[in-house]
Structure 1
Amino acid sequence: MGKLVLIDGHSILNRAFYGVPELTNSKGLHTNAVYGFLNIMFRVIEDEGADYLAVAFDLKEPTFRHKMYAAYKGTRKPMPQELHEQVPVMKEVLTAMGVPILTKAGYEADDILGTIAKRCAAEGVEVSIVSGDRDLLQLADTHIKIRMPRTSKGTTEIRDYYPEDVKAEYQVTPIEFIDVKALMGDTSDNIPGVPSIGEKTATSLITTYGSIENAYAHIDEVKPPRAQKALREHYDMAQMSKDLATIRINCEIGFSLEEAKLDSLYTPEAYQYMKQLEFKSILQKFGEDAFASSEMEKSFRLVNDFGEAQVIFDRAQRTEEIGAQLVIEKGEVVALALCLDGTSIYAIPAVGFLTGQYLAEELERLMEVVPSVTVLDLKIQLPFLKNHSRRIVDGIRNAEGNRAVMDAGVAAYLLNPLKDTYGYDDLARDYLDMTVPSQVDLLGKTALSDAFETMPEKALNCVCYMAYTAWKSREILLGQLRRHGMMHLFYEIEMPVIYSLYHMEEEGIQVRREELKAYGERLQTQVEKLEQEIYAETGCEFNINSPKQLGEVLFEKMSLPGGKKTKTGYSTAADVLEKLAPEYPVVRKVLDYRQVAKLKSTYADGLGAFIREDGRIHGTFNQTITATGRISSTEPNLQNIPVRMELGREIRKLFVPREGCVLVDADYSQIELRVLAHMSNDKNLIQAYRQAEDIHAITASQVFHVPLEEVTPQLRRNAKAVNFGIVYGISAFGLGEDLGISRKEATEYIERYFETYPDVKRFLDGLVKTGRKYGEVKTMYGRVRPIPELKSGNFMQRSFGERVAMNSPIQGTAADIIKIAMIRVDQRLRREGLRSRIVLQVHDELLVETWKEELEQVQSILATEMKRAAQLQVELEIDMKTGNSWFETK
């Protein structure tokens, strides 16, 4: 007859909700319970080789059990809002998958499960019930298996129970389990139980007497006396509890095995839900059947003929707006996506006379004449659009002319900076209410250039969706940017900075290859030296890179204090070891070993792979990664070079200017504190900046009530930690950890700081209130930072959200200012005909490779444009240094 899987809907959702870390999609919907439920469901179906599937849910209205118990004591604990909102979503997903949802007015889900399980088992069907509720164990028999998942940190274990398993774990049979539950009670299930009888006593009574009734019949023999007295006085409650605990197996509910027959869960409708919920790992389970052909695809055209392409380009030049994207693979143009309107959508592969260069030139012409051109990702195309890039920054186009080209991906990033991708499928889902297959969905790992040969229809759809979503999303994105007050941010900062980032990538920075190799050899020697010293001090050889082995050596063999044992061994995280390092030299050597080993692997060995034939590293600078608006660096990450150790700082010696040049480094001084002073309008902090240069000494003087000239280096360090800590929403605990003082002392420091700068306190509190009210905060330039964590039911998540609310407007404003400075410096260098170029942007600093004869002019440009990038109530200051290596400029 086959195998039937029955799932206890609310129970498994509840288990998943508390077992899977908090997840939200790009629209702020909590999704962790749905995600966990689906993974459990897929696993069970696969384990069982199931033929049939159904899910039972409780209804909202009270069941007869609720009504029985209401007279005795209240109702169940309310469901968390984050879980409550996922219940209807879960039901919609199951419906889209064709899974029957079973409910019955007046009955709970377990009654429905019990009825159907017993009915089907009697007909020869093997049944598996999936639930986190132990009540269901009473249903176990030779043909009914109870499967109980337990999810923790995203990992699920499932325990199976037949009657013998119940007996082995609980010492009672499945039927006797009802009586145990009735005696001990269960407040989560509204079962009162018998006062003074816990699980251990209840189990002992039922193993002895077999049932509550038989125990009461032998009441004078019941032990211990406390249990005898309780059962004698509350026998009526015991009987009511047993009735409440007993699952009904004779509900009047219709059920057809045929309706529960498992076909494919991976339907086109379910695929759309997975896209909306952004379950990327689950999406991979869907095959080609999920991609139902849309009406839109009937308008897609593959253009291989040169003459036909020319006709299309001529027509495009006469349109008002187009969507376009040069498709780049392995540094080459493989196709052009082009959309002229809702029915003229083209994929033009680079074949024959339609070369990549030709397609790029045609797109450049369109950018010259078409009033509105929208692309998905502009920066990746700029290496092939050099004339376009040059004309923009040389000022041939005016400010309004710049608006002809729009990057839809960057616009989507501004509207929601918490996402990790802004591809055409993301735009379609988030702004067009369309669910379309992504490139990976369509092509898998096949390169698009190959796909035009091996799977032309899928390649066509992929490229055409790029063009269509770019074209269609333009006005929607602009409308949302306008409503959020981010048009100026988009057009005057984010769009121009695309060109500056491209110029920086194109320029690259020179690295001494041979010296890098020698540096790696020095690091290897240091690694080996530290390794031998650690072995000598610990008295044994072990794998220092193994946290398990290191923990055993430090906390067991050497008996160091502070060992925190986890399931996988002792924690050897940096924060744990840093506390021990001052007292135990071997721990300091372990930390040094880790840093030197990382320097070697990541930088000495890693950087060499990125040096091109011109002797320069051309890194990638990312605009749409960080939630605060900061630029990030990858391939390689040049913004995260460790400088705590002298060996780390020495990496910068390898970054040098080309012959005839020097490096000029201009670094904003305390820009985030200056932004805080301005945005908070705190008169004391503003005055402190205006009266002297050393803000940390002034803060120490005011906070610790000592004359400025008597501020000690230690007091200044403490004030500096508070100054910067306040910007990042530091807690008393965090400040105490940083300074090595008690939480009480740290609290006093923070309180004194806010007494000194009261408007800072009001400003930061106001940001948190704004974040709670609107779900987001903004920078001075209108950049939005959503903060869904503020509405979390988890205290730690809410606390994190509060810190984000306080920090994001400050850090984000600083990021906006450095972008403005970068744009202006880049454009002036080019506009004034200089050969000097920006080669690195690292957080608050710009590094310019400067021709020696242009040094004075470059220094003047940097000073002028960086200081004038924003008009604050306190002046922006920069530290500027010149050197023959990056090291010398620091």
Structure 2
Amino acid sequence: MAKPTLLLIDGNSLAFRAFYALYNQVDRFTNHEGLHTNALVGFNNLLDKIVDPFHPDKVLVAWDAGKSTFRTTKFDNYKGNRDKTPSELVEQFEPLRKMVALHGIKNYELIDYEADDIIGTTAKMGEAAGYSVTIVTGDRDMRQLVSEDIKVLITVKGVSEVDEYTVAKVAEVYDGLTPNQIVDVKGLQGDSSDNYPGVPGIGEKTAIQLIKEHHSIPELYERLDDMKKSKRKENLITYKADAMMSLDLARIRTDAPLTISLDDLDYQGIDYQALVEFYQHLDFKQQLVKLANMGYVIGGGQADVAGQDATVTPTDLQVEVRELTANNLAHIEELGNEVTFYLELDGENYHTAAPVAFVIGNAAHGYFASRDIELLYQKTPLNAVLTDEKVVKNVFNAKAVIVALKRLDVALNNIGFDLLLVAYLLDTNDNNNDLGALAQQNDYYAVQTDEEVYGKGAKFAIPEVDADLFEHLARKAMAITNLKDPLMAKLTAHAQLDLYTDIERPLSMVLAEMESTGITVDANHLLEMRSKFAERLSELEQQIYNQAGEEFNINSPKQLGIILFEKMGLKPIKKTKTGYSTAVEVLEQLSDVPVVESILRYRTLAKIQSTYIEGLLRVIHGSDSKVHTRYLQTLTQTGRLSSVDPNLQNIPVRIEEGRQIRSAFVPSQPGWKIFSADYSQIELRVLAHITGDKHLQEAFIHDEDIHAATARRIFGLAPEETVDPNMRRQAKAVNFGIVYGISDFGLAKNIGTDRKTAKAIIETYFNEYPGVRTWSEAVIAQAKQDGFVETVAHRRRYLPDINARSFNLRSFAERTAMNSPIQGSAADIIKIAMIRMQTALKEAGMQTKMLLQVHDELIFEAPAEEMATLHEMVPRIMDSAMQLDVPLKVETHEGLTWYDAK
């Protein structure tokens, strides 16, 4: 018959380990009230991984009662070398004890004794009473308590991994010693952590050897006369008192005067209802998900700015879902004028992924699910609802659903609430594309993530059982339905409703049309480029081999490092764990060496070849010879769009070979051209507007060269003096550097000068443009107060590190506070321009199609006869996208390819 179990946990030791395991991120782990939670996170993981699955009969968490104990009475400098406990940890001790209690575990502390002594005494009590005892601690001294019925688990990585110590393991580690001899070893070697001395000159290895020979410190001293004369013997004699004191301090007491007994330690089990509320207070999202999946629906939370109290409703989590078939389609007509619709695809790329199943419904009538995709595009009541412009459709990721349905020749009209877009606008830091995860981030826990249901990577699989799949889809739809009102209310409270209804939602329709249209790519032209690149790369290979004096793998950093820094004798600039660094920034500092220059050239061409030429050839659709990129509307924290599959925003333009890639992008029809329009210096114009700096505004109002104008000011040039190219280059670096909160170190590196000079230039800039300085200081101060910054369209970016204790984290957040309103407002402007352009083209009945957005540039294709109209229409609409205190300026170009339209 198995013995009953007793689990003893060293509270202080594990709290400290948990705290310092995440110490570098201490300011990131805070709840909505500013309480630090890094130790709480780690300790909770310990309870989840050890206590819950262990389910002991009896359990105790022991805590230190204070710094003063019987040991400090014996030796006043005991632990005297330790720093004061950080305030960020001190504030977590009370909630740590509450966490323990809510897990059904007894907390206990005893004046004048340490947690070790409580555990030592309780362990021996348990052993005597016939219990199998397990101790969990981060303190290796606890190994002295090991016996046949007592094992010690020592945490080795934070609190998530443990080493198990039994009698055999102790003997293995201590070269045959028994657990109770560990204190003798500690007495001889001392302990720098607890700050007791031991005997000088005796480390752990020597201490183990001495105790093996003499069994204990008292026996060692009884036989000391037999020891040969040596420095060690002399120290043993001189420091005998220290050895005996250290032995006493190291010994964990097993007879502490506890006021509790084993009868007080029954494991009570978790108080789930109270634990849910506790986790909500701590903002423990993952733990709330776990509890929701166990049968608790967690609502409310810190859902609004006013911070209303959370509400928790236990429930069986049943959702009403029925299979939709051709026989019961009439039920769709009963849903009314507002429905939630969710379409499941078998992959991320909705241009190619296959539709798997769908769900439609609402809270009043329940949800209907089906795998029969034909029901969507047949002339059925379902198809009528989807295309009906009077029926509001609430969705997750409107753009993806629109594009996927368009492939089925179904037009999804009248999008109301888009959970993905709204959640992104409310907090751009939470940009998860998994509906379950995003719902949980917004305090809704009645839906699992796709990873939990479908698996991940090679294990990804859509459930074959209809009931399992339909329930998951219905829960997704239910989450969309239930989150609509609270999240839309938050948008209104944040003054962001217009941002959603006038910019982001209509933009998703524009992007859906652009993505579906795609852009034609001449595959034959790319194949010709691939051939030329291969030839050029082969020539460069031979050139590099000749310059190096031997052949080697150019793509191997290790081999390249040996060639450059050993064989050729170049001075190493940076080393890595595996050898010499050959990173681009390192090689660029050696670019005056011919072989290095050739290697940099080789790397550049090889990347263009693999990433862009080969990459584009792989994603050209066979059906229409086009590439259909996906614009990620909810990725960046500034609001800028990001392009993937393929990324058409990162095609290199600084070198000619990169620019040539654009020559493969051509119109889809004969007699058509590519037309481009891009904003000139939009971020600097936004800077001039939001800072209100008169000098900066005057330069744009009078259409001056802003970089030349800045050069005149920072270098003190008279009107008749000429701004040379180097001055303009440096001024340009300052202008854009200020936008990104550049430091004197960063500017010095950019313009090739020393930090003192760079600092003087920055100071001069702020003196010449005082409005920029005033605004910069004001926006940082406001961010520290509010925790976020906004664009002109009220797009928010939250800055959790703006008040961080870490200088690096805080400085980065301050730079971000300056940059985000500028970059984000520029993003707002071009998004408005895209919406208005699409509307204008349709109203004018033009054949022109908008194809791409690349940062501040829009790309169109159009018949040659519409070019003159575009040169007038596009700048007029883009210039008026937003009214600023300085004029917006748009430059237009046309050509037979994207390369030519420059």
Gaps of 5+ in 2: 298-313, 347-351
Bigger mean CA offset, 292-301 vs 223-232: 223-232
Change (3 A) 1:226 1:666: farther
Change (3 A) 1:352 1:777: closer
Residue type at the aligned position of 2:504: E
Bigger mean CA offset, 503-512 vs 801-810: 801-810
The answer to whether the 8 A contact 2:405-2:412 is kept is no
Give, in whole Å, the separation in 2 of the partners of 1:212 and 1:206.
Answer: 15
2:795 counterpart residue number: 783
Instruction: Tell me which of 846, 853, 858 is aligned to 1:846.
Output: 858
Give, in whole Å, the separation in 2 of the partners of 1:212 and 1:276.
Answer: 54
The answer to whether the 8 A contact 1:508-1:617 is kept is yes
Deviation of 1:692 after TM superposition, in Å, equals 4.3
Cα RMSD (Å): 4.9
Bigger mean CA offset, 545-554 vs 666-675: 545-554
Does 2:386 correspond to 1:377? no
Instruction: Tell me which of 552, 557, 565 is aligned to 1:547.
Output: 557
The answer to whether the 8 A contact 2:455-2:461 is kept is no
Instruction: Tell me which of 678, 683, 708 is aligned to 1:672.
Output: 683
Deviation of 1:349 after TM superposition, in Å, equals 0.8
The answer to whether the 8 A contact 2:499-2:794 is kept is yes
2:666 counterpart residue number: 656
Give, in whole Å, the separation in 2 of the partners of 1:504 and 1:570.
Answer: 46
1:322 counterpart residue number: 339
The answer to whether the 8 A contact 2:296-2:317 is kept is no
Does 2:606 correspond to 1:597? yes
3-state secondary structure, aligned to 2:891: strand
The answer to whether the 8 A contact 1:364-1:388 is kept is no
Aligned length: 854
1:409 counterpart residue number: 420
Give, in whole Å, the separation in 2 of the partners of 1:740 and 1:534.
Answer: 29
Instruction: Tell me which of 368, 375, 378 is aligned to 1:354.
Output: 375
Change (3 A) 1:594 1:470: same
Change (3 A) 1:429 1:41: closer
3-state secondary structure, aligned to 1:662: strand
% identical equivalent positions: 34
3-state secondary structure, aligned to 1:856: helix
Residue type at the aligned position of 1:378: A
The answer to whether the 8 A contact 1:376-1:423 is kept is no
Does 2:766 correspond to 1:754? yes
3-state secondary structure, aligned to 1:162: helix
2:187 counterpart residue number: 179
1:102-121 paired onto structure 2 within 5 Å: 103-106=108-111, 107-118=113-124
Change (3 A) 1:134 1:352: closer
Q: Deviations over 1:150-201 (max 9, x none)?
A: 549x9979697725525799x99520354357x5654xx5x5x469x98868
Q: Deviations over 1:332-382 (max 9, x none)?
A: 5444423332x532132143973454476233355x224x54222211121
Deviation of 1:646 after TM superposition, in Å, equals 2.2
Does 2:773 correspond to 1:764? no
Bigger mean CA offset, 483-492 vs 682-691: 682-691
Change (3 A) 1:447 1:52: same
Change (3 A) 1:333 1:206: closer
Does 2:737 correspond to 1:710? no
Residue type at the aligned position of 1:828: A
Bigger mean CA offset, 460-469 vs 36-45: 36-45
1:47-446 paired onto structure 2 within 5 Å: 56=61, 58=63, 64=69, 77=83, 79-80=85-86, 100=105, 103-106=108-111, 107-118=113-124, 130-136=136-142, 138-139=144-145, 148-151=154-157, 162=170, 165-166=173-174, 174-179=182-187, 185-186=192-193, 191=195, 193=196, 245-251=250-256, 252=258, 254-255=261-262, 277=284, 295=315, 297-311=317-331, 313-317=332-336, 319=337, 321-329=338-346, 331-341=353-363, 344-351=365-372, 354-357=375-378, 358=380, 361-365=383-387, 368-370=389-391, 372-383=392-403, 405-444=416-455
3-state secondary structure, aligned to 1:175: helix
Does 2:881 correspond to 1:869? yes
Residue type at the aligned position of 1:665: S
1:576 counterpart residue number: 586
Give, in whole Å, the separation in 2 of the partners of 1:543 and 1:44.
Answer: 49
The answer to whether the 8 A contact 2:672-2:861 is kept is yes
Bigger mean CA offset, 754-763 vs 302-311: 302-311
Give, in whole Å, the separation in 2 of the partners of 1:833 and 1:672.
Answer: 33
Deviation of 1:580 after TM superposition, in Å, equals 2.7
Deviation of 1:207 after TM superposition, in Å, equals 8.1
1:398 counterpart residue number: none
Deviation of 1:415 after TM superposition, in Å, equals 0.6
3-state secondary structure, aligned to 1:717: helix
Residue type at the aligned position of 2:522: R
Residue type at the aligned position of 2:608: L
Deviation of 1:788 after TM superposition, in Å, equals 0.9
Give, in whole Å, the separation in 2 of the partners of 1:824 and 1:535.
Answer: 56
1:799 counterpart residue number: 811
Give, in whole Å, the separation in 2 of the partners of 1:448 and 1:466.
Answer: 21
Instruction: Tell me which of 543, 558, 565 is aligned to 1:533.
Output: 543
1:519 counterpart residue number: 529
Residue type at the aligned position of 1:110: D
Give, in whole Å, the separation in 1 of the partners of 2:723 and 2:131.
Answer: 82
The answer to whether the 8 A contact 1:26-1:416 is kept is no
1:399 counterpart residue number: none
Change (3 A) 1:423 1:218: same
Deviation of 1:8 after TM superposition, in Å, equals 3.9
Is the helix fraction higher in 1 or 2?
1
Give, in whole Å, the separation in 2 of the partners of 1:298 and 1:242.
Answer: 62
Instruction: Tell me which of 491, 501, 512 is aligned to 2:511.
Output: 501
Give, in whole Å, the separation in 2 of the partners of 1:559 and 1:38.
Answer: 54
Deviation of 1:429 after TM superposition, in Å, equals 2.4
The answer to whether the 8 A contact 2:325-2:370 is kept is no
1:396 counterpart residue number: none
1:22-41 paired onto structure 2 within 5 Å: 22=25
3-state secondary structure, aligned to 1:820: helix
1:609 counterpart residue number: 618
Q: Deviations over 1:737-781 (max 9, x none)?
A: 222322222222222221222221221222222222221111111
TM-score, length of structure 1 as denominator length: 0.82
The answer to whether the 8 A contact 2:789-2:798 is kept is yes
Deviation of 1:229 after TM superposition, in Å, equals 13
The answer to whether the 8 A contact 2:39-2:89 is kept is yes
Instruction: Tell me which of 701, 708, 728 is aligned to 2:712.
Output: 701
Deviation of 1:572 after TM superposition, in Å, equals 3.1
3-state secondary structure, aligned to 1:714: helix
Residue type at the aligned position of 2:366: I
TM-score, length of structure 2 as denominator length: 0.81
Deviation of 1:633 after TM superposition, in Å, equals 0.5
Change (3 A) 1:255 1:517: farther
Q: Deviations over 1:634-661 (max 9, x none)?
A: 1111111123332222111111112221
The answer to whether the 8 A contact 1:184-1:202 is kept is no
3-state secondary structure, aligned to 1:874: coil
Give, in whole Å, the separation in 2 of the partners of 1:50 and 1:390.
Answer: 55
Deviation of 1:615 after TM superposition, in Å, equals 0.8
Give, in whole Å, the separation in 2 of the partners of 1:615 and 1:786.
Answer: 42
Instruction: Tell me which of 585, 602, 620 is aligned to 2:594.
Output: 585
Change (3 A) 1:724 1:823: same
3-state secondary structure, aligned to 2:478: helix
The answer to whether the 8 A contact 1:489-1:781 is kept is yes
Give, in whole Å, the separation in 1 of the partners of 2:651 and 2:671.
Answer: 26
The answer to whether the 8 A contact 1:837-1:848 is kept is yes
Gaps of 5+ in 1: 394-401
The answer to whether the 8 A contact 2:187-2:244 is kept is no
Give, in whole Å, the separation in 2 of the partners of 1:205 and 1:392.
Answer: 78
